[in-house]
């Protein structure tokens, strides 16, 4: 059954049907009441608007993520089923793949983004964070999204990849297309894809071996082709994964952390009193805001999930953000608490597909929050935060702040 062809009145009788659209502007503006409705309606629900199953409780989101043989990724992790529709771009060799194909590409990116590699880039990432904070202290009043959450990753990640300076303005718009494209065929997705050609052309070109500086993440991926781990044809597509997933995610993760710390001054004070909390303050922001809000899987067979029977070839929408605030799993889920035991949150996913770049994200978050907390006494929000609307990513377009030096 396709989203376009099925009357809303049909579908599975055994699960609650909801008429909510988790991809419309009203939902994005305030998803929390709907997240609660989704969790309370039952362990598995059916969303008539898009003809998909949904899971919003922690237990079911975790279960789906950890059964990749039944809930596969190779038919796409957006609404579109690659078995029925042509993908908007060639599928990712890691995100949109299942074992055994996934196992091989995953091993390559794991090696390229390993703890050893993090040790090599750490001092550079930390120095750049200090430099960014220097500039912000000169400004005093600035936009925490453009001047901090975007400016910092842009000052390190493209260089770490080995990209040339020209054309980097395509990176965030390209990622924005990627994340909108996981959603349903609404205005956001259709407009994003319609305008994607220049961004796609830029990205395809930068993935080529000759365009990636020696020593960078990109060159390391191509070196894995020499070692026989992947083919020379696969290497550019794996570089594309870093360009797709490596920048806008950390922009929204750092943006989330700053937005949390600006709204909850007592947490900011705790961080200032103990800078070793920086890494967990970032992790808690990923749980609390869940920059990546949702993802789909597709069933490979009929399956029973918490009493609901789901047929083969059905899309299942996982509400990562709702699972990360499920009161069945978390104490005071709606509090931002930098000393919380955050492990087990699904903001980076879970299981075999869990974020392969998580060490890069955590490194950026940790060194930036450390640099901020060391030198800034107060962060005040001085204007209306403006939301950025995307089918998958949650974050702000603008967050006007004024800082007071320590």
Q: Distance between CA 199 and CA 167 in Å, rounded?
A: 9
Q: Distance between CA 385 and CA 398 in Å, rounded?
A: 6
- List binders of ligand 4IA among 43-72 (CB under 6 A): none
Task: Please tell me what DSSP assigns to residue 146.
Answer: I
| Segment interacting with ligand 4IA (CB under 6 A) among 21-29, 91-99, 162-170, 331-339 | 91-99
Centroid of chain to Cα 338: 20
Does residue number 346 form part of the binding site for ligand 4IA (CB under 6 A)? no
Residue selected from 34, 70, 80, 92 as contacting ligand 4IA according to rule CB under 6 A:
92
Please report which helix (H) or strand (E) contains residue 379, including its range.
strand 376-381
Please report which helix (H) or strand (E) contains residue 47, including its range.
strand 45-47
Shortest distance (Å) from residue 269 CB to ligand 4IA: 32
Shortest distance (Å) from residue 225 CB to ligand 4IA: 17
Tell me if residue 376 falls in helix, strand or coil.
strand
Does residue number 292 form part of the binding site for ligand 4IA (CB under 6 A)? yes
Residue selected from 65, 178, 192, 323 as contacting ligand 4IA according to rule CB under 6 A:
178
Total length of the chain: 406
Does residue number 128 form part of the binding site for ligand 4IA (CB under 6 A)? no
Residue with Cβ nearer ligand 4IA (15 or 247): 247
Question: What token pair was written down for 222?
Answer: 């191509």
**How many residues sit in the footprint of ligand 4IA (CB under 6 A)?**
9
Does residue number 73 form part of the binding site for ligand 4IA (CB under 6 A)? no
Q: Distance between CA 75 and CA 298 in Å, rounded?
A: 6
**Pattern 215-254, binding to ligand 4IA, x per CB under 6 A?**
--------------------------x--xx---x-----
Residue with Cβ nearer ligand 4IA (54 or 357): 357
Question: What token pair was written down for 172?
Answer: 């965030």
> Residue 92 to residues 66, 105, 286: CA-CA distances in angstroms?
20, 10, 24
What burial letters (b/e) apply to 206-222, b meaning 16+ CB within 10 Å? bbeeeebeeebbbbbbb
Cβ atoms of 395 and 150 closer than 8 Å: no
Shortest distance (Å) from residue 120 CB to ligand 4IA: 23
| Segment interacting with ligand 4IA (CB under 6 A) among 6-14, 90-98, 327-335, 364-372 | 90-98
Does residue number 95 form part of the binding site for ligand 4IA (CB under 6 A)? yes
Residue with Cβ nearer ligand 4IA (46 or 348): 348
Residues near ligand 4IA (CB under 6 A) are 92, 94-95, 178, 241, 244-245, 249, 292
């Amino acid at each position: 059954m396709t989203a376009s062809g099925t009357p809303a009145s049909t579908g599975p009788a055994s699960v609650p049907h909801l008429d909510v659209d988790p991809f419309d502007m009203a939902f994005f503006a305030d998803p929390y009441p709907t997240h609660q409705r989704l969790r309370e309606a039952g362990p598995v629900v059916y969303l008539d608007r898009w003809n998909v199953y949904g899971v919003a409780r922690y237990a079911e989101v975790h279960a789906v993520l950890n059964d990749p043989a039944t809930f596969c990724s190779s038919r796409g992790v957006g609404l579109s089923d690659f078995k029925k529709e042509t993908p908007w771009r060639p599928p990712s060799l890691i995100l949109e793949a299942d074992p055994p194909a996934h196992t091989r590409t995953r091993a390559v990116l794991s090696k390229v983004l390993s703890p050893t590699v993090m040790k090599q880039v750490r001092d550079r990432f930390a120095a750049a964070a200090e430099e960014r904070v220097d500039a912000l202290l000169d400004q005093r009043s600035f936009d925490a999204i453009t001047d901090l959450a975007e400016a910092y990753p842009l000052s390190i990640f493209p260089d770490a990849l080995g990209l040339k300076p020209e054309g980097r303005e395509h990176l965030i718009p390209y990622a924005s297309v990627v994340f909108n494209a996981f959603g349903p065929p609404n205005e956001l997705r259709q407009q994003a894809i319609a305008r994607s050609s220049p961004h796609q052309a830029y990205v395809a070109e930068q993935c080529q071996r000759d365009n990636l500086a020696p020593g960078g993440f990109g060159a390391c991926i191509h070196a894995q082709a020499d070692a026989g781990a992947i083919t020379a044809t696969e290497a550019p597509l794996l570089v594309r994964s870093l360009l797709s997933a490596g920048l806008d995610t950390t922009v929204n993760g750092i943006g989330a952390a700053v937005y949390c710390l600006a709204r909850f001054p007592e947490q900011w004070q705790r961080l200032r009193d103990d800078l070793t909390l920086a890494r967990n303050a970032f992790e808690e922001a990923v749980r609390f805001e869940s920059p990546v809000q949702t993802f789909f899987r597709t069933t490979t067979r009929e399956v029973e999930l918490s009493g609901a029977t789901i047929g083969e070839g059905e899309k299942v929408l996982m509400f990562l953000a709702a699972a990360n605030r499920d009161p069945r799993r978390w104490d005071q889920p709606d509090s931002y608490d930098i000393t919380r035991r955050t492990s087990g949150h699904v903001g980076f996913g879970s299981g075999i597909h869990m974020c392969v770049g998580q060490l890069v994200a955590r490194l950026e978050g940790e060194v930036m929050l450390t640099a901020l907390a060391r030198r800034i006494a107060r962060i005040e929000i001085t204007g209306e935060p403006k939301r950025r609307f995307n089918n998958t990513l949650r974050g702000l377009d603008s967050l006007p702040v004024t800082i007071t030096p320590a």
